[in-house]
Structure 1
């Protein structure tokens, strides 16, 4: 996925995974981390979800 002069270019693989409900997107600019909301950032949120689900948290960089 990359930005182009026409907007965001999304890979076909990601679109297929979205259509098949095989992926969850977390989107945001981080502004919600500040008061008064104090919401968790991506890593903290993902770690919490993994802990609740009993799944090992790991980051895979390709």
Structure 2
């Protein structure tokens, strides 16, 4: 006994595909923003110290 895929099925399939695709994109963007914010929050102290150390070493050699 074969079943055919009706136009209603394809309509629902398209709607669900769009909804889940949008949810995936939004979730990905939110997680990316959260990770970038976390990395920027940690980086300034380490980055400033490393830059200052390099600058001081540069001055010491010249």
TM-score where L is the length of structure 1: 0.23
Structure 1 or 2, whichever has the larger Rg, is 2
Q: Which has the higher strand share?
A: 1
TM-score where L is the length of structure 2: 0.23
Which structure has more relative contact order (CA 8 Å, sep 6+)? It is 1
Q: Which has the higher helix share?
A: 2
